[in-house]
Amino acid sequence: MANTILITGGTSGIGLATARAFSRQGANIVVAGRREEPGIHAADEVNALGGTCHFFQADVTLEADVEALIKFVINQFGRLDFAFNNAGIFLHESGLENHDQSTWDQIIASNLTSVYLCMKHEIATMKDQPKASPCVIINNASIVGHRGSGASGAAYTAAKHGVIGLTRQAAVENTDQMIRVNAVSPGPTLTAATAAGLNGPAEAVHAKISALNPTGELVSVEDIASTVVFLCSPAASMINGQDIPLDGGQLAKL
């Protein structure tokens, strides 16, 4: 029987790349996002790769939407094996002393509260279903969850630290339930938005990237997707409560 995975923020970027990777393995996939048109397009694209994919429109900062999303997964496929809590936003923030609370609330809700709400209902569902095989939850954190950052801001950095803490706590609480919980922490990642911002002479672009990543490359969305696939596999059965930096050695050199 094919495994079922839920991917939040699954209609573009890292989430869509992960949906593609699982589809190539013949998985059942639900991608969730706030916008209907990109979601339908993403599901069509993922379906063409071998798996079975449905889109569900949801705002995962709202508990009612999360509950409806999990119910949809179970109605479509009967169980939930894996979840990749990937949804989040990045906004330019002012310095902490000038930070307005509305921005703080928005970033914390999108990047931390959403992970809490999703894990709350994913874990409850995984506990209640027959234990055919271990279930796995992966949370998308960030290397700024390990340190401060001049490129992000107080809310985003605090949220990503929180995601790593939630990951560890959930892992400790659910080891005896055949549920593993881990996180991935990407460094600067090559998406459509970052690619558009890297126009310029090749040497200058390479120097800019190398200052962040010792390999001189941005992390690809496929790099992250393949790590999520690995963490859901039996080969990762002893990896639990861990955060995996995907940064080419950036944290190691700091």
- 214 lies in some domain: no
Give the domain CATH number at 19. 3.40.50.720
How far is residue 118's CA from residue 7's CA, in Å, rounded to a whole number?
A: 10
Give 12-51 pLDDT, tens digit per residue.
Answer: 999 999 999 999 999 999 999 999 999 999 999 999 999 9
Q: Looking at residue 198, what is its pLDDT?
A: 57
How far is residue 140's CA from residue 244's CA, in Å, rounded to a whole number?
A: 10
**pLDDT interval class at 153 (50, 70, 90):** confident
- 196 lies in some domain: no
Q: Looking at residue 170, what is its pLDDT?
A: 98
Q: Could you give the number of structural domains in the chain?
A: 1
- 212 lies in some domain: no
Q: Which domain holds residue 69?
A: 4-189+220-253
| Given 22, 56, 84, 156, the catalytic residue | 156
- 29 lies in some domain: yes
Q: Where are the alpha helices (DSSP H) in 25-135?
A: 36-47, 63-77, 101-108, 114-128
Q: Residue type at 105? A: D
Where would I find the beta strands (DSSP E) of 167-252? 179-186, 189-190, 219-220, 243-246
- 209 lies in some domain: no
Average pLDDT, the chain: 91
β-strand 179-186 against 243-246: which pairing, if any?
parallel
For residues 82 and 232, the answer to whether their CB atoms sit within 8 Å is: yes
- 194 lies in some domain: no
- 244 lies in some domain: yes
* 156 classed as catalytic: yes
- 56 lies in some domain: yes
